[in-house]
Structure 1
Amino acid sequence: MDLLDIARWQFGITTVYHFLMVPLTIGLAILVAGMQTAWYRTGKQRYLKMTKFWGKLMLINFAMGVVTGIVQEFQFGMAWSSYSRFVGDVFGAPLAMEGLLAFFVESTFLGLWIFGWDRLSKGVHLACAWAFSLATVLSAYFILAANSWMQHPVGIEMVDGRPRLTSIWEVLANNTVLAAFPHTVFGCFAVAGSFLIGIAAWQIARHHRKSAPDDEDRRAWHGSLRLGAWVAVIAFAGLAISGDIQGKLMFQQQPMKMASAEALCHSEAPASFSIFAIGDVSRPDCENVKSITVPYILSYLAEGDFSSEVKGVQALIPEYQAKYGTHYPDDPRLGSFAGQPIDYTPNLPVTYWGFRFMIGFGGLAALGAVFVLWLTRKRKFPPGKWWAPLAVLSIALPFLGNIAGWVFTEMGRQPFVVVPNPDPSGVDGVWMFTASAVSSGVSPGELLTSVIALTALYGVLAIVEIFLIVRYVRGGFDGVMPPKPPEGEEKSDDEALSFAY
């Protein structure tokens, strides 16, 4: 493996692992704030139990997300210093805003929420919950704004061969981030909804199948289960709508990515949507590939009508070569890529199947949520023991869908790390090949060592998180609620704080 491959593997491993934490934290934070609001308004104990229990799991996941996220920014200097020098004037702005505005608010009010039980008034404490939960969403927006600039650079001018920021508002209002943000947030709710479904179903099957219908804990688990199912169903509907909008933008801004997502090697008018391909989709000429397709649908996804032409990989390659060259610069810093032909075709199997896994896993999770709503209507539960294990396994579906979606997004833009803006009104020359972005002063051995070390460390952290999650899930509501004091004895302030989290 050369330096570029190792650097990409490192960033891919650490980013995918970190993104396992992000959607669950964002989705759970909003849901926990909603549960606490229900407790504030009604005073019902079951809502307090739900807030405490799901809040505990959210905090574990948040802590792991912070630890694993720190590595991401260090990689820009260690493995991708050439990229950092090229885009630093632009890319640093939304990242700084995320750290100074969103994460600062998030961490401050999260601390107040953790230690504010029985210390702050109920109204102020609830306000802290909403402050940190909404700050997680704002944090995601700034990160997505930075990533969207890499997908569609705007708001800059070229100075001495480097992009310089001219309008932060254009970066923050980039139509790419306006489409990606709701899609990502709906994905977060899909993850949180399935998380609630799986754990609540397991708790019901474990302890509460034979309990009375009016049992407080059973009603709390049932409420969590139904809430998770409704959230998952609504989230999938939002994903479908926002995904359609995002797809139409991709056809305009990154036509090669979307042609690769369909393994559309030759232009079609009208174009059919491929459901399943049989054969070797890795070849850009798509010889010997047979697809099960739905006529006209790809034309609609691309242009909003059923007759428009969609360009294939073979038609796009000459266009890319004419605009961006046929060979990499003969620069020693590019290593083995110096002077070599540029392959503008992304990894077709990854993009094609990644796109289908994203949709497939999301659709299965939504169908499971609908099934749960039907099974649990009128507080009824299925008599068999099969449904709870299936519900637990379904937790993985939206996680896998999110991962597949991000792998498709990032792999589909290759060979660019900053994709050129095809808009005629855009700034010329704002693009960067991934091969030009990697650090030239780091040896393959050094980078491989860091990959092995980080992967091993992340493996240990995964064991720690799973252990903590399982431990507190097994503890249920009793594990997060303070014990009742003996009759006639009041709860002390120290005791109240010790169970605050």
Structure 2
Amino acid sequence: MTEFLSTEILARLQFALTIMFHYLFPPLSIGLGLLLVFMEGIYLKTKNPIYEKITKFWVKIYAANFAMGVATGLVMEFQFGTNWATYSRFVGDIFGSALASEGIFAFFLESGFLAILVFGWDRVSPKVHFFSTLMVALGSVGSAVWIIIANAWMQSPTGFHLVGEGMQQKAVIDDFWAMVFNPSSVRMIVHAIIGCWLMGAFFVMSICAYYIIQKKHLEVAKKSFVIALLLGFTASLLAASSGHFLADRIAITQPAKLAAMEGHFSTGTGGAPLYLFGIPNSEKEKVEYGIKIPGGLSFLVHWNFSSPVIGLDQFKKEDRPPVGITFFSYHLMISLGVYMLFITTLSLILLKKKKLFETKWIMKLYCVSILAPILANQAGWVATEVGRQPWIVYGLMRTPDGLSKAVKADQILFSIIVFAFIYILLFMAYIFVIHNKIKHGPDEIMQNKKIGA
């Protein structure tokens, strides 16, 4: 077995592949959930049947996406016990509390009200149905909150003490709320949820743009597009500001990660540059072909252009994260964020001039722009997780130390191949279902229906 196919590399690769595939669906559920609240809220307010038609259509898409999220999420939990048993023992007390809270307070809330959301249109009053929509949206956000809390604790662990030694050592909670509100949690939650809103908004706009180009379901498409556009523009602005405040915290809690994200090798005595583009060279410890703003990183971290920022030279080489992947994924996320802010701003200008839906090139661009938030969300998490290396729990446990001792590389490789095949089939089934729902379009509704109490 080559070094590349070592147990550690394969275990990390398997978890990365499964979680990246899974993460296609929960962000979309969160983004669509908020849009459903807006759409059904407008229906209750205006009593316009078109918004009922709009909401019913997107509920069908939501339900299919929710099912995929559940199916793909189960695999990750098994990997904690198979590939990462030592790590699971170490964080079991911490993760047990967070993930149990996610199941009790969030997942059951979302799944419990989902049946009313999907099947309750003619069985409960409109206000009760709207309440179920709110609860499903709240539950989807709650699931993300508790899972991100667990991940944020890995980035900046607090509220615990260590017991035992060696492989039997584990972290035990001292203060539950200190664990929940660890230094990274709130900022990570805010930034991640905003990223989910972007994904939901661009997903809706991509489908609506397709309908507009095809001249189908125009009333539904245009009204849905405007609602999603307003969310997309707002989320684009919020993503930039929340990302900045998260980076500020990373500069304090994980300075090596920030240095890798920015390709900042040398601390120096003056201002640190902000690289807009470049190719980091870890051997030469420099960014080649770099386009930079002198003192830009210092300004973002310290609000002045002259203060030094901690560089990678302050850390032993074995304690530095992989710079290339961290740098490129971080800059890809930022570039896509700028693109989404630009295109939504331009779209609002065209909308005000009543030229948006007649501008075919921008509609065609929106058809493929769903890739922007998908890639931005994935790249952001890659930067977060790779930038934490070589620690699986920052400052407490290195990644190789969290591996299961009984699992072999060939066993993991076999399971990767099997799960890849299963995931390909699942994704094909998902695309088939979503394609059929989009092709069918919104159902016709009774125009004389009145809203009850």
TM-score band by shorter chain is over 0.9
Partner residue of 1:92 out of 71, 96, 100: 96
Q: Which residue of 2 aligns with 1:301?
A: 300
1:18-62, Cα deviation, whole Å (9 max, x unpaired): 111111110101111221111112210111111011111111111
Q: Which residue of 1 aligns with 2:330?
A: 355
Q: Which residue of 2 aligns with 1:173?
A: 181
**Separation in 2 of the partners of 1:7 and 1:282?**
27
Paired amino acid for 1:184: A
SS at match of 1:386: helix
Q: CA deviation at 1:472?
A: 1.0
Paired amino acid for 2:113: F
Give the root-mean-square deviation of aligned CA atoms: 1.9
Q: Which residue of 1 aligns with 2:230?
A: 230
Q: Which residue of 2 aligns with 1:218?
A: 218
Check if 1:201 corresponds to 2:209: yes
**Separation in 1 of the partners of 2:364 and 2:424?**
25
Q: CA deviation at 1:302?
A: 2.1
Q: CA deviation at 1:132?
A: 1.2
> For this pair of structures, how many residues does the alignment match?
440
CA contact (8 A) 2:347 2:356 kept: no
Check if 1:453 corresponds to 2:426: no
From the superposition, tell whether residues 238 and 382 of structure 1 become closer, same or farther in structure 2 (CA, over 3 Å). Answer: closer
Q: Which residue of 2 aligns with 1:403?
A: 378
Identity among equivalent positions (%) equals 35
**Separation in 2 of the partners of 1:31 and 1:130?**
10
SS at match of 1:175: coil
Partner residue of 2:198 out of 185, 190, 201: 190
Paired amino acid for 2:17: I
Paired amino acid for 2:327: Y
Partner residue of 2:38 out of 7, 29, 34: 34
Q: CA deviation at 1:264?
A: 1.2
SS at match of 2:319: coil
1:233-274, Cα deviation, whole Å (9 max, x unpaired): 110111111111110110111111111111111113211101
**Separation in 2 of the partners of 1:436 and 1:73?**
19
Paired amino acid for 1:236: S
Q: Which residue of 2 aligns with 1:499?
A: none
Partner residue of 2:346 out of 371, 378, 391: 371
1:437-475, Cα deviation, whole Å (9 max, x unpaired): 111111111111111111111111111111211211121
Q: Which residue of 2 aligns with 1:11?
A: 15
SS at match of 1:439: coil
**Separation in 1 of the partners of 2:115 and 2:359?**
43
From the superposition, tell whether residues 86 and 362 of structure 1 become closer, same or farther in structure 2 (CA, over 3 Å). Answer: same
Q: Which residue of 2 aligns with 1:162?
A: 170
Q: Which residue of 2 aligns with 1:276?
A: 277
**Separation in 2 of the partners of 1:36 and 1:383?**
27
Q: CA deviation at 1:139?
A: 1.1
CA contact (8 A) 1:284 1:345 kept: no
Structure 1 gaps, min length 5 = 209-216, 318-341, 421-430, 491-501
Segment of structure 1 superposing worse, 218-227 or 267-276: 218-227
Q: CA deviation at 1:380?
A: 3.5
Partner residue of 1:473 out of 435, 438, 444: 438
Q: Which residue of 2 aligns with 1:336?
A: none
CA contact (8 A) 1:284 1:313 kept: no
1:110-125 matches, within 5 Å, as 110-125=114-129
Paired amino acid for 2:26: V
Q: CA deviation at 1:202?
A: 1.1
1:36-92, Cα deviation, whole Å (9 max, x unpaired): 111112210111111011111111111100100111111100111010011111111
Check if 1:62 corresponds to 2:62: no
Q: Which residue of 2 aligns with 1:101?
A: 105
**Separation in 2 of the partners of 1:254 and 1:405?**
16
Q: CA deviation at 1:417?
A: 0.2
